[in-house]
Each structure stands twice: as C-alpha cells, then as structure tokens.
Structure 1
Amino acid sequence: MNDLDKDHALTSDSLLELTDDERIALVVERIETKFLDYDGYDFSRHQILALNIFFELSQEVRGREMFYAVCMAIPKALFGLESTMYLLEDEETFALAACSSGKCDRDSTRPWNEFMNDRLTIQGESMYLPIRGNPEYNDMLAFEPPHNLLGSFVMRPCSGLPGHARLFLEKYVNRVGYQLHHRIIRARNREHIAFIKSMVQDIGHNVIVPNMYFKLYFNRLKRKIEQLHLTTTAILTELNRNANRDLVREGNRLAEIAGGIEGQYQEIYSHYESTSMFLETLLRRRHFEEGRYVLEKRDVNLRTTVIDPVIERFRHRFEEQRIHLALAPECPEDRVIRLALDRGLISQVLDNLLSNALKYTERTSVPEGGKEKHATYGWKVLDDFFGPGKSGIRLWITSSGGPLDLNEPMDVFKPGFRADNVAHKSGTGRGLYFVRQVVELHGGRVFYAHTDQGNEFSFVLPFEQA
C-alpha cells in the first residue's frame, strides 16, 4: 500500500462505524508508520524543513497563481530546478497552468502520452511527476479524474539528480496534489455558493412573486362563484314560482354543481395556501445565505394556526384510504395554546408525519371485532420537561401497524434510513431527518415508539412564548 492508499484508508466512510478509541488507535498506528516511513526515506534536514515550509506557505497564500508559485519555488530553492505545471481540464487534455521561468513557451495543452501519464517518467533533462489527488473527494470535482490524476509536474534539468532526490520530489508532488485538490474543491464551492445566491434571487423573482398573483386569481374566482350562487338562487326562486317541475329539477342540479365547484375551490385554495407557505419557507433567502435552516418565529395559536389546517388538508386523503383519523380523546379542543415557533417549518414537520401515516398505516384488529386502519393525533403540555420551570408541548401522530425493524428507535430519524420491513414502500428516507432537523433547531426533541395503538412519532417543543 502506497502513501496515498494509506491516507485514503484513513478517510474511508467505514471509519464512521468505529468507536472513538478505535479511531484514536488507528491514527496512532498510522503516525507510527509515518515515523518509520520517514526514517526509511532518510530525507535531509533541509528537505524536511522544505515540506514544513510548503505546508505553511500553502496555507498563507491566497489565489491559485500564488499557490503555483509556492509549489514551484520549493524545487527551485532546494535543487535549482525549473518547473512547469499542467492540470487536467478534462479526462483527455492536460492544460498549462504555470511555469517557474516566466517563459511559458511550451505547448499550452498536451494529450495523454508516454510522458504525461500516471507514472514518474524521465525524458532527457525533464522529469514528469503525476500530480495525484485525494480519492476520497473525487466526487466533488467537475469530472472523475482518470487514475486519480489532477495533472503533471514537470521539472528540469533532472539528468544529474540522484535517486534519493527523485524520491523526495515524488513525495513532495504527492503533497502538492492533496493541497491542490482541496483548493480546487474550495474554488468550486465558492462558485457553487455564488450560483445558489443568484438562484435564490431568481427564485424570488420567477417563482415566489408570480405565485403571489395566484391569490389575485383565486379572489376573482371566488367572486365569480359567489355570483354563480346568487344567480342560481334567483333562477330557482323564479322556477319555483312558475312550478315547472322539470325546470326546477334542472335548477336544483345547477345549485348542486355550483356547490360542488365551491367545494373544489375551497380544497384547491387550501392546498395553494399550504404550498405557498412551504415554498416561501423552504426557499427562504436566509437558508441559502447562511447554509442552514433559519427560523422565523412568530407567536401563534398552535391548534388553529398550525395543527387544524394541516389536519384538514389531509382528512380527505385519509378518508380515501379508509383510515379513521381522530383527535386523541385526552386533548381538549377548546384549550388555547400560544407559543413562538416557525409556523412554516413546523407545519411541514406535521405534514411529513401525516404523509408517513397515510403511507404506512396497516389494518389491525379492533375491540369491536374485525380489522381497520386508524390514526390519532394530539398535543399535551408537559410541565418541567426541559428542566424546572421549562415546560414543553408534545405533539404526536400514532398509526396502526406493526413495529418498525430498528436496532435503535432514533435510527429512523437518520438521513436516508429506511426500515427493512417498510423498504418496499416508496420514499427517500429524508422526511423524518427533516423532522428531526427542524425540531432540534427549535430546541426540541423527536421520539419514536411502538405502543398498543401502533407506531407513534412525536416531538416536544419548548413552551416558548413571545
């Protein structure tokens, strides 16, 4: 195993499964191996200092050109070598990046050949050293680098260099590759952030603002429906006065159609309101600027502002699936609970939990006999949940069905997790992770348990009031 393979082994995803003691032991082992490696290299004091100086200067300088200058200055200071650096601009082409002499008179691009490849190669006075990256982060580059190669470092004159110096330069270029790789990633991240900021402005202009016009169209449609009801009532009044049964029957049918249109309007408008709120909440500009969910808390009536609108939006869908959805009997409907929270994000938390209940609820036996699908929801104030004098608000949704196949209850809230016994259902495993993120951002906690009523997902928010 070469140096790069060993370093890659230290960054593998499999290390995430190790305990803290195992990780420390592994790193200590690698340090001891490095000591032995450097003893075997037998680098001179100046060469060791050169590596240290390179690391320090590469952290100090800003800009790609200054970094190239540092990379080429080390071989020049130690061995009097001039350098040229080529980087892969795509899978097939090496493009000239920089040269130490200030006279970049060589070809600006080169193809893969017997010199520009993944092996140390010498041609006359020139030594070609492959610049390798960190394979752990290849997926963050613009393309998958062939042979894990970022480019080629060409040095000259090298015909008189002893093999020991060549070994040092090879190890040195390996370290250049890792530093270069991180700089490329940072540059791409900066471009990515700039793009996101631009995209957020476009979203505001091209999505959020046009979406607001739908409310105007809905208001116009509502007025038309009201006019339809008035006209229908007037027609029915006149028809009843004339006592024409056939026409009265058609008038009543017209009234039913008008009522049906109004019902469809109310359902569509309810979905529009929730979708608009979700769009504006998820695409909130500060989320993208700060790289995390940013709360905008407001003092709200928990039941009327958050719970009831979400429940009513799902009620018809539960009925279609023949799932009996009910408020838990211990919840007083007339109690007013006001607290400060981000209405849009917490509404989406409830939306995710109800979506899961709709998807995963199963038929189970009921005391009255037979089997049915049922779900319950509710809320409760928990005194001193977060400490003395720090109450919490618990919200839960329970749906009938067998327990999830989990090693630990909190596994279900991990990103991308799908329990084996429900993996056949459609889903990404992101919904419950989103729930956990939002609840914990509010200072709350999430829970899963299987009870005699079924699978219960709950969360507790601090009883925070404005």
Structure 2
Amino acid sequence: MAESTLSTLNAEEKPRSESIFQNLGSIIYDRVKDKKEKYRHYNLERVQEEAFATFFDLAQEYTSIDVLYLISVAVPKEFLGLESALHILDFKTSRLEKVCDSVQGLIPPEKRVQSGLNILEHPYETHNCMIFPIRGNEALTQLIPFLSKSPILGLFEICPKEGMDTKRRFFLEKFTNRIGFNLHQKMLIQQNINHLKFINQLVSDIEHNVISPNMYYRLFLIRLKKSLVTYGQAQERLGNLLGSVKDLDEGLSRELSEICQCIQRNNQSLEEDWKALSKHYEHTSLFLETLLRRDHFEKGTYVLRRQVCNFRAEIIEPLLERYIPIFEKKKIMIDNLLESVPDEEVTLFVDKGLISQVFDNLFSNAVKYVQQVEDELGNKIKLLSYNRQILKDFFGKGINGFRFNFFTTGKPLSMEESRKIFEEGYRAASAGKERGTGHGLSFVKNVVEIHGGRVGCEPQKFGNLFYFILPLKG
C-alpha cells in the first residue's frame, strides 16, 4: 500500500512540478523580450551604453560596498563629465549620510554627518543639482530591517543640473536604479556575513555556557545515586538492629521502627525523583547536544552522527514515559502495534538525537491535533495508533525500507493539504486555534530526507496517517 500510494503522489507531483517550471520559463522569456523592446525604445547614446556596461562589469568584479560607492560616482564623471555624491541611509541610526562624492572620494565613517537633503520617492531639483532616489529591489526589501516601510536606500546627487535634458535625465534615473539594486545585494551579503559571524560566536557561547555546564548535572546525579545507596545501606543496618533492641526495650524498638519506616518512605521518594531527573536529564541533554551541535552551524545544514539504534528501547519507550500521562489526561487511547516487527529484524544506522526529535514532534502533534470521531458502530473514539513495517526493496534492490506509521483520529485532510503539510510554515485548516508555527513537520521532513528517507501523509476515513520511511541497513 505504501509503495502504491507514494507512486501515486509522485505521479501527481511530477506534472505539477513540470508545469511550474514551464510557467517560469515562459515568464522569463516574456521578460527578456520586454527588456529587449524597452532598450530599443530607450535609444541610449553610445557613451551611455558604455557607461552602463562599465558600471555592471566593475560592480560584479568588486564585492565591497565602499568600492561600489566609488564606482557609482566615478562612472558619471568619466563618461558624462558630471560631479555626483551618494547619500545613504544608516540602518542603525536611520539618518541620511553623505558617504562618497566624485571630488573627495570616500568619506571616513567618523567624518560622516547628517545630510540636509529631503528623502522623496521621486526625482527633484535643488539650487544646482538633480536628486534621484536610490531604490532597492522590492522583492528583497523585507530582508533588511530598516527597509520594512520604504524601499529607498538613499539619494544620488548629480551636479550641475544645467543642460540636463530629458534624455540625459532618463539615463541617470536608470543608472541610479542600477546603483540601488547592486547596493541592495551587497548590503544583504554584508548582513549575512555579520549574521554568520554572530552565529559562530553564539555557538561558542552555547558550548561554553550551556553544553559544558550541563555535564555537571550528570556528575550531580551520579553523586546523588551514591548517596541513595548509602542511605539504603544505613536503613538496612537500622532494620537489623531492631530485632535485638525489641527484646530489651519495646518502646525504643517501636520508635526506631517508625524512624526506619520514615527513612524507607523518604528513600523511595528520593529514588523516584532521581529516576525522573535522570530521564529528564538524558532527554534534555540529547536534544541540546543534537540541535546545538557546532557542525550544524558551520555546514549550514544538519550534520548526522550515525549510530546503531534500537528504536523501541532507546527512543520510543523513553518518549512514551513522558507522553503517556499527557495522553491519559486528554483521554487519548493508544494502540501500540510495534510488536508486529521484532527488534532483532531491524538494524537502523541513524542520528539518534535527531530521530528522537522526529518522534517527539509526531507525539507532540498527536497531543495537539487528535480529535474525537464516531466509528462505524457509533462508538466515540479518540485514538493514537502507531506501528512499523518492513518494505522490501523499497529503496532499490536489496535495500529495504523501514516505515513508521502514525495514525490519529480527526478530520481527514484534503489531498492538497496532505501534500503541503510538511512545508515550512504551512498549517492545515483543521489546526484551528491550536498554537503552532508549522515548523514541526517541516523539521521531520528535513531530518528524514537527510537520512535518505521519505515522508508522507495519507488522509483516511477517520483521521490521518503520517509516516516516514528510512533505508534499512542490511
């Protein structure tokens, strides 16, 4: 059933994907034709075309924003004999500053002062100059914080304005637009470089202030366990003394017996607390050390640390211990069919920490989204059912698949929703008022696919079946 379902989904996705690419290709060809006609209509002079070409060549050759400033003022001066100045918005102070001109070149940051020009969205004239707004790429506007309200990055001042005919003004508007697009891209590059530097520093701080100190909790738990053993031995010794004291002093014996029972109750309570703390520590440490792994940040993707893993004993059972009380509180029935595949038949070489979080996300979603339904016999049920199966040769000859199925009762998703449910940020209409970001299933998809597996969702009569399939080591 799994293979046929996946084949159907793939067959549906293929023409859909081809249609998207065909539409995109058609759009781009239309835009190329449109630009071709516009440039014919522009009827630029030879020197203006050379100015454009020089600007584009040098803007691509250099990555520095400061060099782009210099190129922007040098080209009009060299090709058109015009003096110019760049006034750029400082995103930290939100003030307009003169950063470069064709007379003195770059202005050092410490010597930049606030510009007296007005920021308008259309070109305008001053006493002796023309002012053109420098616009960024509107599609990228949201990626730079200070551009959230306006796409204007600054102003381009051209002097003198005398002799500025319509054709030259038109060229300078287009030239200023090219400055804006290139400046916008370089700002984004610089922002990303600064972002990466911050992330790398943050990872170092996490290792130093979170991961390493977390290891001390393990030592604390070990010492606590030793103390519990010592207290247990003391309690045993006290119990042995009770027999000899009983014949000598019945009142003392009774009092010691009460003390012994009190110690025993406290020891049992401490033992339970120790077990709960140990499990919480193991769960939290596994997630912390997996998600905050330095390799993830350095590579820009999840980096796997594979090991042989027993899913039931090492992942599912520890998670169930945490979730079963929650399921019981929400009156969710659990149908566990894992016994249908003995553990010795399954050898999975996975990143235990990441796969644990895959299961955690699926259990967490069950808590939030499972709904009560009425079955064919009229019984009202609120059910979570999960099982696993071996799919022979699923990933090719000799490479079986390990499929984990996770069914919850509720309103079945539409076929469109079931295809989109694993997309980042997507939430189905049936999610209702439940809090969520639409990230959980996207994370599941990402982790499973990095392991070489697949994910899917199959709407069914009384609910929805989510599944993932991993390659099974032979």
Q: TM-score, structure 1 length as denominator? A: 0.87
Aligned partner letter, 2:334: L
Structure 2 Cα separation of the partners of residues 307 and 217 of structure 1: 26
What corresponds to 2:439 in structure 1?
430
Aligned partner letter, 2:174: K
Structure 2 Cα separation of the partners of residues 23 and 103 of structure 1: 43
CA contact (8 A) 1:374 1:400 kept: yes
CA contact (8 A) 1:92 1:111 kept: no
C-alpha distance 139-201 of structure 1, shift in aligned 2 (>3 A): same
CA contact (8 A) 1:444 1:461 kept: yes
C-alpha distance 365-330 of structure 1, shift in aligned 2 (>3 A): farther
C-alpha distance 170-392 of structure 1, shift in aligned 2 (>3 A): same
Report SS of the residue matched to 2:396. coil
C-alpha distance 273-368 of structure 1, shift in aligned 2 (>3 A): farther
CA contact (8 A) 1:124 1:159 kept: no
Residue 211 in 1 paired to residue 214 in 2?
yes
CA RMSD of aligned residues (A): 2.9
Q: How far off its partner does 1:367 sit?
A: 9.0
**1:386-397 equivalence runs, <5 A:** 386-397=395-406
Report SS of the residue matched to 2:411. coil
Aligned partner letter, 1:77: E
**1:21-420 equivalence runs, <5 A:** 21-90=22-91, 92-102=94-104, 108-111=112-115, 113-114=117-118, 116-144=119-147, 147-239=150-242, 242=246, 248=257, 251-252=260-261, 254-328=263-337, 331-333=340-342, 335-364=344-373, 370-405=379-414, 407-420=416-429
What corresponds to 1:462 in structure 2?
471
C-alpha distance 96-145 of structure 1, shift in aligned 2 (>3 A): farther
C-alpha distance 454-167 of structure 1, shift in aligned 2 (>3 A): closer
Point out where structure 1 has 5 or more consecutive residues left out of the alignment: 1-15
Structure 1 Cα separation of the partners of residues 260 and 414 of structure 2: 58
Aligned partner letter, 1:25: S
CA contact (8 A) 2:142 2:148 kept: no
Q: How far off its partner does 1:277 sit?
A: 0.8
Aligned partner letter, 2:100: A
Q: How far off its partner does 1:338 sit?
A: 2.0
Structure 2 Cα separation of the partners of residues 212 and 154 of structure 1: 60
Give the share of equivalent positions with the same residue, in percent: 35
Structure 2 Cα separation of the partners of residues 319 and 426 of structure 1: 21
Segment drifting more, 451-460 vs 75-84: 451-460
Structure 1 Cα separation of the partners of residues 107 and 201 of structure 2: 39
Segment drifting more, 138-147 vs 284-293: 138-147
Per-residue deviation, residues 34-90 of structure 1 (Å, max 9, x unmatched): 233323322113322322222121111132222222212221122111221110114
What corresponds to 1:4 in structure 2?
none
Aligned partner letter, 1:415: E
Segment drifting more, 314-323 vs 82-91: 314-323
C-alpha distance 453-61 of structure 1, shift in aligned 2 (>3 A): same
Aligned partner letter, 2:288: L
Structure 2 Cα separation of the partners of residues 50 and 230 of structure 1: 90
Aligned partner letter, 2:232: H
C-alpha distance 387-103 of structure 1, shift in aligned 2 (>3 A): closer
C-alpha distance 298-336 of structure 1, shift in aligned 2 (>3 A): same
CA contact (8 A) 2:82 2:159 kept: yes
Per-residue deviation, residues 396-450 of structure 1 (Å, max 9, x unmatched): 2223333235524222111112111222212211111100000011110112224
Segment drifting more, 29-38 vs 218-227: 29-38
Number of aligned residue pairs: give it: 449
Structure 2 Cα separation of the partners of residues 334 and 33 of structure 1: 63
Per-residue deviation, residues 163-185 of structure 1 (Å, max 9, x unmatched): 21111011100111010010011
Structure 1 Cα separation of the partners of residues 54 and 240 of structure 2: 95
Report SS of the residue matched to 2:309. strand
C-alpha distance 313-407 of structure 1, shift in aligned 2 (>3 A): same
Segment drifting more, 187-196 vs 51-60: 51-60
Structure 1 Cα separation of the partners of residues 320 and 107 of structure 2: 71
C-alpha distance 131-367 of structure 1, shift in aligned 2 (>3 A): closer
CA contact (8 A) 1:406 1:412 kept: no
**1:433-452 equivalence runs, <5 A:** 433-451=442-460
Report SS of the residue matched to 1:429. coil
Structure 1 Cα separation of the partners of residues 437 and 146 of structure 2: 26
CA contact (8 A) 2:391 2:403 kept: yes
Segment drifting more, 182-191 vs 412-421: 412-421
Structure 2 Cα separation of the partners of residues 22 and 399 of structure 1: 38
CA contact (8 A) 2:404 2:467 kept: yes
CA contact (8 A) 2:405 2:467 kept: yes
Structure 1 Cα separation of the partners of residues 382 and 240 of structure 2: 46
C-alpha distance 238-373 of structure 1, shift in aligned 2 (>3 A): farther
Structure 1 Cα separation of the partners of residues 324 and 259 of structure 2: 32
